[in-house]
Structure 1
Amino acid sequence: MDNKKLMIIDGSSLLHRAFYALPLLTTKEGVYTNGVYGFLTMLYRIKEEYDPGYICVAFDKKGPTFRHKEYKEYKGTRDKSPTELAQQFPIIRETLNAMNIVVLEMDEYEADDIAGTLAKMGESQGLETILVTGDKDYLQLATDNTKVLITRKGITELEIFDRAKIEEVYGITPAQLIDLKGLMGDKSDNIPGVPGIGEKTGLKLIKEFKNIEGVYENIDNISGKKLKENLIENETIAYLSRRLGEIITNVPLDSDIEGLKTREPDFEELLKIYESFEFKSLISKIPSEYSQIEEVLDFDIEHNDITSEDFSRVVDLIEKKNKFAFKFLIDNWNYIEDSILAVAIKVEGEPTFYIDLKDSLGSFIESFKDVFQSEKIEKLGYSLKDDIIVLFRLHIQIENYIFDPKIAQYLINPSQSEYSINNLSQEYINYYGIDEEALLGKGKKKKNFNDITEEERRVYLSYMLQVTFKLEDVMMDILRKQNMEELYKNVENPLIEVLANMEYIGFKIDKEELISLGEKYSNEIETLTSEIYELSEVEFNINSPKQMGEILFDKLELPVIKKTKTGYSTNVEVLEKLQGKHPIIDKILRYRQIVKLKSTYIDGYLNLINPKNGRIHSSFNQTITTTGRISSTEPNLQNIPIRTEDGKMIRKAFVASDENHILVDADYSQIELRVLAHISKDEKMIEAFKEKIDIHSKTASEVFHVPLNEVTPTLRSNAKAVNFGIVYGISDYGLSRDLNISRKEAKEYIDNYLENYKGIRKFMVDIVEEGKENGFVETLLHRRRYIPELQAKNFNVRSFGERIAMNTPIQGSAADIIKMAMVEVYDALKTRGLKSKLILQVHDELIIETIKEELDDVKSIMKDIMESAIKLDVPLKVDIEVGDSWYDTH
């Protein structure tokens, strides 16, 4: 035997662990793959680390085992595997077959019995055996030469056990673990054990009496009346439990060790599988000759350093081709403030030109400004928003940028978690190139481009721009076929510049207002802290859920609402249920609310103010949400709490620049309900909007069977919850919680609603069927969202998919409309030469910082454009408010 290592993998355990450790991943066709992906990632890792000469994977086979014959309730408490997991077992078997790894399973035996038998065979032949599993039962198999690798934290960590480690951790031998299981049983396998004996007591007995026989031989010497009684009454159960928990090491296998010799995979078949299931990162594990990447692409990453003397030659090449791709590099990650290092420019058919800008920025602007501003010359780039911000800094107004693969991919697959150029390269042109994460790292240790060598920068930029050129035709062709070319060209692509401009300009902050508000909150926090200590009669860490739980439920003896693994739950939901039972509860709720406001919004915002201009520059993300909505980060300006006066007060700090400016806030009125009326063609709802009847009062009248003029504020509020609940696919349970009513009453509300709005009911049924048939649903502008959950057999997963199918066309269409309005408003301000600037979009509202003499023009532009952004069966309505601060406009 050449390599003296035998690796046996518990396939069933590892696939389960991977499935629950990773979020649900699916292919574009909706096939679930997260378990398989996690399994393979772990397999590659342990194979590389241990380099076994022999390898196999053992699986549990469906059907009863010999253990079920002895005890029919064996594993009887286990839930059936969810469909999302069950459908991945055939995939992993197919993949292992292509990897030429032997798969073993046998009727009546479990994977651990097969593994135990092989381990014994391997050890008898002088092999070092490695068992890989998430199941601690395998520890009984450990010896000096047989080691058990146990998966921890899902599949990200492994802990290795041999005989010495087990004796160190448990104080008993591996074989004695079988006796321990006989005494304590195993809830996961429904092995009964002796009542009242857990690990601590079981270990004590085994250490003292060696095994179960020893325990019963010395039963009179065992202290503890109840323990002794339980042992005596359950002697048969103890021996049965030991038999059930013991791994068999003499299974009649057809295979011998020599048949498990590690072999080279069938790389061609493996490549097909990885491509089929979209395992892009795993394709790099396959030798390049099997994917024929070099021959297919002739990918030659060339780059030339050029100086200002060469600028005119590059400009001539650009003007000759009328097209170029570009990318700026900065010395950190803040495109508004950090120093500009370099730019790369790519003209098709030419090497990438790399320009160091540290000493030539002025001459670069002078030479290249016209080509960037030319309406005739097409521009391409990856993550163009960042580069457009840099151009704004250089006082260059970009024109005719036509393609950004990141934005195109967001339309093609909006559920994708990240859109790196390397992922796109691998997916569309089958070239696994330079991975940015591998180049720069991630998390707190992530480097920036200033930390790597100049050669690494040049190669990476050349690769990025070359890939960008290659992606344009293939991705635009997909968008054309999927009816999203207009959405890309008229909405998403022009929106890049709009968002770049909003980020670049930012929002003026009244720092003193924030500081004053912070001081007010600090004083209140101090007062509340004293009051909470007084009511609890002890000082404790109010921010510690553990200490809070001990005070509320042990000391004050309030009723326990919910327990967690670490103790009592003290979340908001629990505290709200305890209101009225003790005055401390209201104080704690208020304390938490104020502490969050101060830490997140006051302290957080103060740290983000740009010292040069006193403004906050939020990042607006175009590729995050699956519905098409824009998100905001660092800081998130879309989640400022506005239901409370305290939350609203924070908006007082967001102000116009000076006395010559004022804020104009235009807000779509009930846009999602108007979209719902249009999509569903519901006559009653369309009529209400056309007649300008208050939609919530109209709904209250219909649902609660009262005349319109007798609708009370409470009825209107409840109807409003139903209206918006329907938009978000709310259940009777969700509505009952929102309105604090019974589920029966909530169900009545929803049933009455759907009985009255028959068009909406039909839409909800039809859209789910459409989603099931097509695998996706669409917005009015044909934005797609794929919903594999609709095919799930698991009720909860499928119900979630149905809610997505119902609300995506509504929310997504509303998002499309606000984006169209943003693009048109921005263009109108620019083409009319107005100095007023669009500075913020939050949900359904747009804010323009307006020069006072332009106020009437801006209000007119916003109202006209927003109300005519799209033609619906009901009118779009926009409410416009004006004020010196964001607070004043509401």
Structure 2
Amino acid sequence: MSKQKLVLIDGNSIIYRAFFALPLLNNDKGVFTNAVYGFTTMLLRILEEEKPTHMLVAFDAGKTTFRHKTYQDYKGGRQKTPPELSEQFPLVRELLDAFDISRYELDQYEADDIIGTLAKQGDEKKWDITVISGDKDLLQLVTDHVTVHVTKKGISEIEAYTPAYLQSKMEINPDQIIDMKALMGDSSDNIPGVPGIGEKTAIKLLKQYKTLNEVYAHVEDISGKKLKENLETYKDDAFMSKELATINCESPIQIGLEDLTFSGYEDQKVSTILKDLGFQSLLNRIADDAGDIDAMNEELSEISFRVVDEITADMLPEEGALFIEMLTDNYHQAPIEGIGLSDGKKTYFIPTDVATGSTLFREWAADAHKRKRVFDAKQASVSLLNQGIELNGVVFDLLLASYLLNPADNNHSIPAIAKRHGGEQALYDEEVYGKGAKRKVPEQAILAEHIARKTLLLLQLSDRLEEELQDNEQAALLKELEMPLAQILGVMEHQGVLVDAEKLHAMGDDLKTRLAQIQKDVYELAGEEFNLNSPKQLGPILFEKLGLPVIKKTKTGYSTAADVLEQLEKEHPIIPKILLYRQLGKLQSTYIEGLLKVIDKETGKIHTRFNQALTQTGRLSSIDPNLQNIPIRLEEGRKIRQAFIPSEPGWVMFAADYSQIELRVLAHIANDEKLVTAFKEDEDIHTKTAMDVFHVEKDAVDGQMRRAAKAVNFGIVYGISDYGLSQNLGITRKEAKQFIERYFNSYPGVKQYMDDIVQEAKHKGFVTTLMNRRRYLPDITSRNFNLRSFAERTAMNTPIQGSAADIIKKAMIDLDAKLKEEKLEARILLQVHDELILEAPKEEIEQLKEIVPAIMEHTVDLNVPLKVDYAYGESWFDAK
């Protein structure tokens, strides 16, 4: 007889973690499904990996349990479950029923107790048992037959605890987990424990004395006056905490192991509920592998296409779809796996070497009169430029069209677009290539079919999305802004920016020397050496040895987060040292070492990638590496820009930066008379605001007043609250509220705009930028105060931020055209926030000083002037 395999799942814990790990998702009925989606994904993985013969999902029956008789405040202080999560629990129960998986809850008991009781029964029978939870409390159940899987980082990673792993990881045994909880408590369950004892101290005591009883039997021998005092004072709390933390493995459940038999699920039942929930991407995972392959082959066999080994002129259409398949977003280095081509009547799969080796294909790709519909113009441009092929004549970009229509969606693959817009279904890439370590390119026959289907879908979907863009009045946004920009970004990414690696190494060495000195200073101030990067070691030094006030505690001890340390900065000279150590450490590891890793060995350049279809405001972001995040408030951070240099001898870097563009856009949109006048007369806007808000003359505005005015000026753009302003300025919420009220009294046009845009968003369900970019706000009418408030702030700031982003994008297009018109060698290298960075021969600088500000300042016509500052020098740092 084969061994029985029992899987026990802590339903509440996994659903809760899935909810907070995934962004809020709605299906087409408007029902929130993110927690159900995460739970289903994990469930499918468990079924594939564990292959259980018996299975149960346990749920908490209610808020009150037998533990509340011992301690009324058990689990007190927990935030109320969000309604968006509460409404998903019934859906999970329906899902489990469709899978024919047992579920159970017991009044007055928790899911842990149900799991503990069944795990004990299975352990006695020597079954192979897997427990799955997000809660380490269940580690007390670990035995030679019971493995507890604890989720990490949401639900995507799992840590499997056996007795040996628990010992190596935490240096205690399963039966000591309860005593550890008794000593350290558990803030998530409001179990008090003993104040001042965290996980590290609790484990240290248990390693020495084995049990809670023995700790108290030897309490007089324990060193540390405060520790001993707390143990004695809170002895009753410790033993009560042990009682609360102990899982009841003798719960009066009305089910037994024989009731948990699992013999698989019916595909049809599960398919029905997955379709109803809108989980299209999971549908292909429910059949067995053979069935999937048969279905794939049957579906793809309907496509008429041809694999070509030579390109002829009749294959290259006057207008058609060009699809380039790559398996990674890092397309600067990745190979092209294959190319699809279709005019709707004939579809071809072209192996990469056939396409790149064909003069006919190269000429067709570069011909601006051959109209091409593509999936991602930037990716296509970069991948072909890597092969020495220019791409022109792009008339439609499916990725960008989908992004403009659905800016909140984070999946713009062709199958996902097809699902959203009612097209034919395509196989998701993971079904063809596999995923994770198993990801590989299949044999050519399967690869060709997959690429052919996507190429045909690209052609079909482009017509549908073009119509939707027309209906939304967004066709111009795609054709005149995003698509021309995609071509420019493609050239920028291919071009890259040269980096002086030696200078970066030298900076890194300097930082290491400084870090070593700061570390030495910290040790002297602490009176001992410890791991400065370990919060578990730092916490006791700060809050026990040095006696600093405890601001916040975590599950594992004292919080030493940056916001906590910033509040303690004036309490002890060690704190500024630690904060500086962390800042410089991040510069060293994330930026110096991080940048060195991504320098292309062949070009010596960094080829950052610009995300054009990511942010809901329309702003560009950059990755691999993120050059927009180099911290420049620290001088050491700004100096990193010294390593970014021109790629040609005798050239210089030229940087042009919009001044206060978002405030100028606000002045235009709100059309506030005072704000408009201030910008037209080129006044210092922060001084002007301070004058209006504080009712003083210009000469009476001091630094503190101007700082406050600046905070509220920029805060207004982001819908700042009185709380946010109070934190920024170190004032009370009452003072901050009064300040904001005075601001709105001074600028009534801004207040009117804020009120009007929120009402407009409630009426339409979205807001727009000056160029008609949309951001949808489904929570703008939510009954949940927090969700509604966030949506209202988003409604206020998106038209401002989004319009500023659109202006910079248009400036890039206009400037690129002007540089070509003037036949200048200067080229745009980077866009970072409101700044454009170019490189150019020194002899072109005088022209650039005229051209760049003129183009950027007049790229759109606002009722206030745009202002651009520029500088140039031997490096990006010098162009300041």
What band does the TM-score fall into relative to the shorter chain? Answer: 0.7 to 0.9
Q: Name the SS for the 1:666 alignment partner.
A: strand
> Of 670, 687, 692, which residue of structure 2 is paired with 1:702?
692
Equivalent residue for 1:392?
385
Equivalent residue for 1:877?
867
Mapping of residues 296-311 of structure 1, within 5 Å: 300=302, 304-307=306-309, 310-311=310-311
> Of 747, 750, 763, which residue of structure 1 is paired with 2:737?
747
Offset, 1:655: 3.2
Question: Alignment length, in residue pairs?
Answer: 863
Equivalent residue for 1:843?
833
Equivalent residue for 1:324?
321
The separation in 2 between residues aligned to 1:4 and 1:656, in whole angstroms, is 67
Q: Specify whether residues 181 and 874 from structure 1 end up closer, same or farther in structure 2 by C-alpha distance, changes over 3 A only.
A: closer
Which whole-Å deviations, capped at 9, do the CAs of 1:705-759 have from their partners, x for residues lacking one?
2123432343222211110111122233332332233333323222221232223
The separation in 2 between residues aligned to 1:202 and 1:601, in whole angstroms, is 41
Equivalent residue for 2:427?
433
1:355 lines up with 2:351 in the alignment: yes
Sequence identity (%): 43
> Of 863, 867, 870, which residue of structure 1 is paired with 2:853?
863
The separation in 2 between residues aligned to 1:182 and 1:632, in whole angstroms, is 47
> Of 471, 494, 506, which residue of structure 1 is paired with 2:496?
506
Contact 1:284 1:432 in 2 (8 A): no
Offset, 1:828: 3.1
Mapping of residues 335-734 of structure 1, within 5 Å: 335-336=331-332, 343-357=339-353, 361=356, 363-364=357-358, 366-428=359-421, 429=423, 431-436=425-430, 439=433, 441-442=435-436, 454=444, 457-511=447-501, 513-514=503-504, 517-518=507-508, 520-525=510-515, 527-529=517-519, 531-532=521-522, 541-549=531-539, 552=542, 558-610=548-600, 612-658=602-648, 660-734=650-724
Q: Specify whether residues 523 and 33 from structure 1 end up closer, same or farther in structure 2 by C-alpha distance, changes over 3 A only.
A: same
**Structure 2 unpaired stretches of 5+:** 221-227
The separation in 2 between residues aligned to 1:772 and 1:46, in whole angstroms, is 42
Q: Name the SS for the 2:351 alignment partner.
A: strand
Q: Specify whether residues 771 and 92 from structure 1 end up closer, same or farther in structure 2 by C-alpha distance, changes over 3 A only.
A: farther
Q: Specify whether residues 401 and 579 from structure 1 end up closer, same or farther in structure 2 by C-alpha distance, changes over 3 A only.
A: same
Q: Name the SS for the 1:323 alignment partner.
A: strand
Offset, 1:381: 2.8
Contact 1:136 1:150 in 2 (8 A): no
Q: Does 19-28 or 188-197 show the bigger shift? A: 188-197
1:157 lines up with 2:158 in the alignment: yes
Contact 1:3 1:52 in 2 (8 A): no
1:805 lines up with 2:817 in the alignment: no
Q: Specify whether residues 6 and 222 from structure 1 end up closer, same or farther in structure 2 by C-alpha distance, changes over 3 A only.
A: closer
The separation in 2 between residues aligned to 1:99 and 1:124, in whole angstroms, is 28
Which whole-Å deviations, capped at 9, do the CAs of 1:422-442 have from their partners, x for residues lacking one?
444554435251525872644
Q: Does 551-560 or 188-197 show the bigger shift? A: 188-197
Equivalent residue for 1:212?
none
Which whole-Å deviations, capped at 9, do the CAs of 1:773-816 have from their partners, x for residues lacking one?
54443322232333445465555454433333322221112111
Q: Does 73-82 or 461-470 show the bigger shift? A: 73-82
Q: Does 767-776 or 802-811 show the bigger shift? A: 767-776
The separation in 2 between residues aligned to 1:181 and 1:643, in whole angstroms, is 43
Q: Specify whether residues 42 and 417 from structure 1 end up closer, same or farther in structure 2 by C-alpha distance, changes over 3 A only.
A: same
Q: Specify whether residues 30 and 701 from structure 1 end up closer, same or farther in structure 2 by C-alpha distance, changes over 3 A only.
A: farther
Which whole-Å deviations, capped at 9, do the CAs of 1:631-668 have from their partners, x for residues lacking one?
12233221233334333333333333446534433222
The separation in 2 between residues aligned to 1:510 and 1:192, in whole angstroms, is 55
Contact 2:117 2:248 in 1 (8 A): no
Which whole-Å deviations, capped at 9, do the CAs of 1:511-534 have from their partners, x for residues lacking one?
555455455545544554555555
Q: Name the SS for the 1:638 alignment partner.
A: helix
The separation in 1 between residues aligned to 2:132 and 2:635, in whole angstroms, is 57
Q: Name the SS for the 1:431 alignment partner.
A: coil
AA aligned to 1:348 is G
The separation in 1 between residues aligned to 2:830 and 2:738, in whole angstroms, is 40
Contact 2:321 2:455 in 1 (8 A): no
The separation in 2 between residues aligned to 1:559 and 1:70, in whole angstroms, is 31
Q: Does 557-566 or 632-641 show the bigger shift? A: 557-566
The separation in 1 between residues aligned to 2:244 and 2:536, in whole angstroms, is 38
1:86 lines up with 2:107 in the alignment: no
Mapping of residues 107-126 of structure 1, within 5 Å: none
Q: Name the SS for the 1:720 alignment partner.
A: helix
Q: Does 623-632 or 406-415 show the bigger shift? A: 406-415
Contact 2:722 2:736 in 1 (8 A): yes
Q: Name the SS for the 1:367 alignment partner.
A: helix
Equivalent residue for 1:95?
95
The separation in 2 between residues aligned to 1:183 and 1:557, in whole angstroms, is 21
AA aligned to 1:32 is F
The separation in 2 between residues aligned to 1:30 and 1:673, in whole angstroms, is 36
> Of 746, 761, 773, which residue of structure 2 is paired with 1:756?
746
Offset, 1:453: 5.1
Contact 1:667 1:878 in 2 (8 A): yes
Q: Name the SS for the 1:625 alignment partner.
A: coil
The separation in 2 between residues aligned to 1:501 and 1:382, in whole angstroms, is 17
Equivalent residue for 2:223?
none
The structure having more radius of gyration, on CA atoms, is: 1
Q: Name the SS for the 2:654 alignment partner.
A: strand
Q: Specify whether residues 11 and 775 from structure 1 end up closer, same or farther in structure 2 by C-alpha distance, changes over 3 A only.
A: farther
Q: Name the SS for the 1:433 alignment partner.
A: coil
Equivalent residue for 1:784?
774
Contact 1:380 1:404 in 2 (8 A): yes
Equivalent residue for 1:218?
none
**Structure 1 unpaired stretches of 5+:** 210-214, 216-220
Q: Specify whether residues 885 and 8 from structure 1 end up closer, same or farther in structure 2 by C-alpha distance, changes over 3 A only.
A: closer
Contact 1:517 1:602 in 2 (8 A): yes
TM-score (norm 2): 0.80
Offset, 1:105: 5.9
Equivalent residue for 2:224?
none
Offset, 1:853: 4.9
The separation in 1 between residues aligned to 2:655 and 2:27, in whole angstroms, is 42
AA aligned to 2:373 is L
Contact 1:681 1:759 in 2 (8 A): yes
Contact 2:535 2:560 in 1 (8 A): yes
The separation in 2 between residues aligned to 1:533 and 1:118, in whole angstroms, is 51
Q: Does 611-620 or 186-195 show the bigger shift? A: 186-195
Q: Does 298-307 or 86-95 show the bigger shift? A: 298-307
Q: Specify whether residues 102 and 873 from structure 1 end up closer, same or farther in structure 2 by C-alpha distance, changes over 3 A only.
A: farther
Offset, 1:672: 0.6
